[in-house]
Amino acid sequence: MTSGPGADQHERPDLTGADAGTVLAGLYDAHARPLHRYLSRRLDTETADDLVAETFLAAWTGRAHYDPARGTARAWLYGIATNLLRRHARREVRGLRALARDGGRACIADPLDAVAVDRADAEGRLRAAARTLAALRREERDVLLLVAWADLTPAEAAEALDIHPRTARTRLHRARTTLRRKLRTQETDR
Amino acid sequence: MTDDSEIDGLVRRLRAGRPEMSEPAFTEGRARLLAAVDRAPGSLPEPPLAARRAARPTARRLLPLAAAVAIAILGGGVVVVSVTGEEIPVAPPAGPEQPAGPWYERPLPAIPAEPRNDAGRLGENATDLVVAPGEYLYIERRPRGRDTAEPARTWIPADRSGTWQRTTEDGTMFGDGGRFDTKVVGWWHPDAGFTAALPRDPRALYRQLVADQWPREDAPAAAFRKIAQLLADAVPADLRRALFGTLGYLPGVAVGAETTTGDGRTAVPISIDDQGFHRIVLLVDPATGLLVGGHQVQLVDAPSGREGGLVPAGTIVGEWTADYAVVGRMGDKP
């Protein structure tokens, strides 16, 4: 974690100056790849390529709206990207349902991990998680995935979505509670 | 599986193996950005109000500050605002009652020439409870339908810049001027200084909401929630009067016929639809202009969290009532 005035300037830059283009290019260098990681998990790699570019173009045209007092540039960018994702909301849900149907193999990054914990159990839980993610209310899924996939804190997710931090925490709590309940049901049914 | 970190850990494993951004994609995205920058290197589409405020974080001056004129292009209208806050040309006349466009692309429109609804009348009789120096305004917000739930209690000193206490199910917090858990002061975190600096003119308040909107989802509903939050803290009557007046200009706001709260008190409902999922309903005591209750109405069928469960559209969720009193000490109950 960085700190100090320099770090703050980096995290909450002034995008109103004549050097805004340079600043935004720096933000691109710092955040494009992690942002792509988040977007490709929510949709697919090819769409993420476009959405990353669109996010920064939207950031450039909307830079006057960025208020450093309200949040970090990182949160702002993830907020723009999450808004852009909404055009693809149905496709995202279809993808998650397909993930749930196709089984957990595609979900598991490290096969050794799966071996260690009983592959069938792991796949079952992951299928249930994908199915539940698809069924979550979109705004709850947004907060959960900004936290789990983009590593934003709940407060940063609130900044990204322009919602009250308490609302973000409530949405996160609801999403986790729903997941927990579904997973318990799935474990009971086995 | 009970721990949040376990749940998050499971979610993190989903699609964790996606390929990284390719170098060509990275390069192309950067090139597109730089091309856009080159096309319009110096122009800024809107005045940097936000940045000016950020540069002077302690100055809660009202906009506009420095510019001779500020031009805001929002939705379908153009408003030119002078340094005195007066509008020069008028925005388009009051539009349709419901905001245009999908909720996720719905900015606050320019202020119409006339109010869109009669919310302003809810503030006509706004009065304050008399809180003498040393006393506290006590607000109890009680969820209904959850008899075992503890109400949220707030103690506000006569001098609202003093120390407040708020006690909820999560514990007790103290905050100077009502600033409890944040370093950032603003619409979402209003403290006594922020509310004292807000204009008492409904049109000026509306313009401030327009200037302060984050270009995000359902700005009219967000503005409604910002105002509701201030009303819930029983801000002084002159500000409540202005806030109700501002609600009169918000698209999508509806004022209903007199009704009763869950505990039988007379109230007037005022509502807005939030992101297409909920209708937020506030219940206002017409005799005092204080919020005495509220609830949300589910607008779409939604999974309830129980296996196969459904919360059908039309279901009332999150109902609450509020009471006000004056007490002698922080922590006292009437």
Instruction: Indicate if B210 and B304 belong to the same structural domain.
Output: yes
Q: Decide if B26 and A32 are in contact by the 8 Å CB cutoff.
A: yes
Which residues does chain B have within 8 Å of residue A178's beta carbon, measured at their own beta carbons? 303, 305
- What is the average per-residue pLDDT within B38-52? 47
Q: Decide if B54 and A68 are in contact by the 8 Å CB cutoff.
A: yes
pLDDT at residue B201 in the model = 96
Which residues does chain A have within 8 Å of residue B4's beta carbon, measured at their own beta carbons? 176
Q: How much is the CA Rg of chain A, to the nearest whole Å?
A: 18
Instruction: Indicate if B88 and B136 belong to the same structural domain.
Output: no
Instruction: Indicate if B164 and B72 belong to the same structural domain.
Output: no
Contact status of B132 with chain A (Cβ, < 8 Å): no
Instruction: Give the A:B interface size as CB pairs under 8 Å.
Output: 191
Residue B105 lies in a domain: no
Instruction: Indicate if B212 and B78 belong to the same structural domain.
Output: no
Nearest by CB to A70, which of B26, B55, B186?
B186
Half-sphere exposure of B187 (CA within 13 A, CB side): 23
How many domains does the structure of chain B reveal?
3
CA B21 – CA A29 distance, rounded (Å): 12
Residue B102 lies in a domain: no
Instruction: Indicate if B136 and B244 belong to the same structural domain.
Output: yes
Q: What is the DSSP string of A104-163?
A: GGGG-S-HHHHHHH-HHHHHHHHHHHHHHHHHS-HHHHHHHHHHHTT---HHHHHHHHT-
Q: What is the pLDDT of residues A57-72, one digit of tens each?
A: 989 888 887 888 878 8
Q: Decide if A16 and B44 are in contact by the 8 Å CB cutoff.
A: yes
Instruction: Indicate if B198 and B130 belong to the same structural domain.
Output: yes
Q: What's the start-to-end Cα distance of chain A, in Å?
A: 43
Q: What is the DSSP string of B77-127?
A: EEEEEETTS-BSSPPPPP--SSPSS-GGG-PPPPPPSS-SSSGGGGGTT--
Most trustworthy range by pLDDT among B124-128, B179-183, B219-223, B274-278: B124-128
pLDDT at residue B171 in the model = 79
CA A137 – CA A88 distance, rounded (Å): 15
Please say whether the dihedral angle defined by the alpha carbons of residues A132, A138, A143 and A148, taken in this order, is positive or negative: positive
CA B324 – CA B282 distance, rounded (Å): 16
Residue B17 lies in a domain: yes
CA B94 – CA B112 distance, rounded (Å): 5
Residue B333 lies in a domain: no
In this prediction, residue B216 has a pLDDT band, given cuts at 50, 70 and 90, of low
Q: Considering only A9-13, A131-135, B117-121, B295-299, which range has the smallest mean pLDDT?
A: A9-13
- Which of A29, A70, A171 to probe by mutation at the B interface, max B CB count within 10 Å? A70
Answer whether B168's CB lies under 8 Å from A170's CB.
no
Residue A69: how many other CB atoms lie within 10 Å: 16
Phi, psi of B318, deg, nearest 5: 65, 50
pLDDT at residue B292 in the model = 96
Residue A147: closest CA among chain B residues belongs to which residue?
A: B8
A123 CA: distance to closest CA in chain B (Å): 10
Q: Decide if B7 and A40 are in contact by the 8 Å CB cutoff.
A: no
Q: Decide if B18 and A37 are in contact by the 8 Å CB cutoff.
A: yes
Residue-range domain boundaries for chain A: 17-189
The residue behind tokens 């999560």 is: B170
Domain encompassing residue B11: 4-39
Residue A143: how many other CB atoms lie within 10 Å: 28
pLDDT at residue B88 in the model = 29
Average predicted confidence (pLDDT) for chain B:
77
Instruction: Indicate if B267 and B183 belong to the same structural domain.
Output: yes
Q: Decide if A69 and B50 are in contact by the 8 Å CB cutoff.
A: yes
Instruction: Indicate if B61 and B155 belong to the same structural domain.
Output: no
Residue B244 lies in a domain: yes
Instruction: Indicate if B169 and B75 belong to the same structural domain.
Output: no
Answer whether B224's CB lies under 8 Å from B212's CB.
no
Instruction: Indicate if B164 and B279 belong to the same structural domain.
Output: yes
pLDDT at residue B299 in the model = 83
pLDDT at residue A79 in the model = 92
Q: What is the DSSP letter of B62?
A: P
Residue B106: closest CA among chain A residues belongs to which residue?
A: A83
Task: Tokens for B243, please give them.
Answer: 């806030």
Instruction: Indicate if B28 and B69 belong to the same structural domain.
Output: no
Closest to B117 measured CA to CA, from B244, B274, B209, B301 = B244
C-alpha B272, offset from chain centre: 12
Residue B270 lies in a domain: yes
Q: Decide if B28 and A49 are in contact by the 8 Å CB cutoff.
A: yes
Q: Is the pLDDT of residue A106 over 80?
A: no
Instruction: Indicate if B220 and B312 belong to the same structural domain.
Output: yes
Residue B63 lies in a domain: yes
Q: Decide if A61 and B8 are in contact by the 8 Å CB cutoff.
A: no
